[in-house]
Homo-oligomer: A and B are copies of this chain.
C-alpha cells in the first residue's frame, strides 16, 4: 500500500512509519517535509521503501507533482506548526503553516486524484477553555479557540467538512489530545521533565527541576498508541466524521513529574519558572474516546508507567 505522510520528519511521523512497516512490510512511504528525516531507529530492511521528498506545502505546484508521483492510497497530514506559544509570537506564519498548507493539500488532492483517504489531524486546543461539567469532552462540544493556533485548527476541521460535502473528498478528522513518548522534542512538557530528571541522574546538572504550573490536568496518550489510532481511523473511520484521540484519563503535571522522579530514583528540588507559566491556560482537559473506540476497536493499550519509563530511558540514552 502507498502512503504519503506530510510532516514526515516529525516526532509522530517516526512512530507512524514504524507502525506502518510493522503492519505492512510491503508498504511504500512517501515522506514529505522541509528537512530530511533521520530514521536511525527504523530497520535497514525497509529503508529503501521510504522515499523522501523535500516539499514546501505552501507551494501547491510542488505538492501536485509529488502527489502524481506518489499515487498514495492513504495520506496522513501531520505537517503543522503545532506550538501554541509560537502562534502567539508569529500568528501569520503559524496560520499559514497550519491552515493554508492544509487547504493546498486538499486542492492538490482534488486536482490530481480525489480518491485517497486523508487523515486530517486536529487538536484538543480546539475545545479551548471549558467548564468542568463538559469534561470529558465529546466530539459534539462546539469549538472555542483561544489562540491563533486553535483558530487555524478549527478552520482546518471546517474546511475538511466542506471538501467532503462539496467536493466528495474522503477525509477523516481527529482531535488529538496530548501525546508523548521517546524522541519527542524537549519543548514539550513531559519530554522536558524527563530530560531534566535524566540529566540529574547522570549528574550533569544540579538537582533542580524547573516547571510551570503543575496543577493543570491533561489527557496524555503514548505516541505509539496515537499512531495506531491514526491507522485504525484510516481503515475504519467514516469520511467527514471527527474522532477524539485520547486516553480518557486526566493526570496532573505533578503526578507525571513525580512518576519520572520515582523511576530515576533521584532526589531533587522543584522550582517554578515564570517563563514556563502561560497567561491563559486550560486548568483541565480530558477527552472522551468512546466514539473512536466504538468505531475502530482501537484503545490506548500502553500503561502510563511504561511510556514514562521509555521516555526517561530515551533521554538517558541521549545524554
Binding site for B on A (CB under 8 A): 60, 88, 91-92, 95-96, 99-100, 103-104, 106-107, 142-143, 145-148, 150-152, 154-155, 158-159, 162, 165-166, 279-280
Contact = CB atoms under 8 A, between A and B. Distances in A.
Contacts of A92: 60, 100, 103-104, 107
Given A107-B91, A142-B142, A159 B151 contact: yes
Contact of A154 (B103, B147, B158): B158
Contacts of A155: 99, 151-152, 154-155, 158
A173 B158 CA distance: 20
29 contacts: A60-B92, A88-B166, A91-B103, A91-B106, A91-B159, A92-B100, A92-B103, A92-B104, A95-B99, A95-B103, A99-B99, A99-B155, A142-B142, A143-B158, A145-B162, A146-B162, A146-B166, A147-B162, A147-B166, A148-B162, A148-B166, A150-B162, A151-B155, A151-B158, A151-B162, A154-B155, A154-B158, A165-B280, A166-B279
A91 B100 CA distance: 11
A182 to B, nearest CB: 34
Contact of A145 (B88, B99, B151, B158): B158
A249 B289 CA distance: 43
Contact of A165 (B106, B146, B152, B154): B146
B100 A100 contact: yes
A166 B280 contact: yes
B154 A159 contact: no
A151 B147 CA distance: 17
A23 to B, nearest CB: 34
A126 to B, nearest CB: 10
A107 B90 CA distance: 9
Contacts of A107: 91-92
B96 A100 contact: yes
